[in-house]
Structure 1
Amino acid sequence: AIMIGLMNTFALLLLLMCIGNTSVAGQERSCSSSEHTCSNGKCMSLNARCDGRSDCFDGSDERGCLTAAPPVTCDTSEWQCNDGQCIASGYRCDEYVDCGDQSDERDCQTPTPPSVTCDTSEWQCNDGQCIASGYRCDEYVDCGDQSDERDCQTTTPPPSPPPDCTSGYGTSMSRPLVTGKEFLPEFVWILDNEDKFKFNISYVSKVSCVP
């Protein structure tokens, strides 16, 4: 009888301990007095309440703040929005709103083109880009700012004959034809004599002129 009584007493104590340490099934843990309860039930430090940074996933820790949040110092790799929020410096003026007050996309200046020196065989766009000289005024836009097709004259001066052409031949005013980015000029070569005998030559890079 004594043994049965001791077992009953032990079982009762164990039951009381379990009740004291177990929450009701299906309920979230209640946050302590030193914690803030987010709208989704998450508990976070009360010090993070109204500190200018959203610590709750739903941002509820920064709602209903009676006093202004203390100033926040952003890292050197961050840019500070007008509302104090910190975002990555690369997000400033990237055409996507990242600040809550949209200040990261205000007063954005057109980026200054980098100082680039083009080769002698290239033409420099107004934005600093280098393109092949032959792409200038070829009726195809190659510069990002379209400057290669501005202020173009109606007639393009004829190209110089190949250096190995026989003396006495010249080019007509026919404009080179362009296919995509590859030049396929069609020139009319004229024999410089009384007969003005004409013949066509098509070439890609080098031509030997033969009567």
Structure 2
Amino acid sequence: MNFIQGRTKAVFLVYFIGVCAVTANVLCPPDQFQCNSGQCIALKSFCDSVEDCLDGSDEVRHLAGFKCPVGTNRRTCVLPQHHVTDNVTQCNDDLDICVGNNGINRCNKCLTGNTSVSNIQLCDGIFDCPDLSDECLCDVTEAIIVCNRLELGSLFKCDKQKSIFLHQVCDGVLDCADFSDELHCRKTKGVSGTTQTKLSMPLRVMDK
């Protein structure tokens, strides 16, 4: 049985659609952005194309996590999880206010770990959860070819019985000899760090 078949999928779905529960650990004032390191910078410095955090966490764009569009050009960066559900708006359209005035939940917690994503990131063909659950628990997804190779135990099955960890899927590095960990990814990061479409990006082969 693979990761998304039968009762396994049904049980996982019940868990996945539950209310997002992220405990914010923000020590900076509400008008400031807290870097992953704990450094405080101006709120407007988040996702402005300039790395103000010493650890660069204000300008992360190509990792899994909560994708946050900012400004009139809707530049999108990954919002650190401690800022998700802190009731301070960082993203356009109040996307990071997980429970709106109408009481409707707008965020979802990934199946494993503490990562949460917005509702609009679910079932869009792009992997945003580290465990791939934002796509592989969908009834219909463009990522079905990748999802069908998932195994229980957080592994992805390549050819010839080889398995790799989920974080190695769609990361721009060829870990499988049959290229299956990158071949069917809709969007992923290339060597230069830019987001590119499947098959058109330059890939790196993992050193053996």
TM range, normalised to the smaller chain?
A: under 0.3
TM-score by length of structure 1 reads 0.20
TM-score by length of structure 2 reads 0.20
Q: State the structure with bigger RCO (CA 8 A, min sep 6), 1 or 2.
A: 2
| Bigger CA radius of gyration | 1
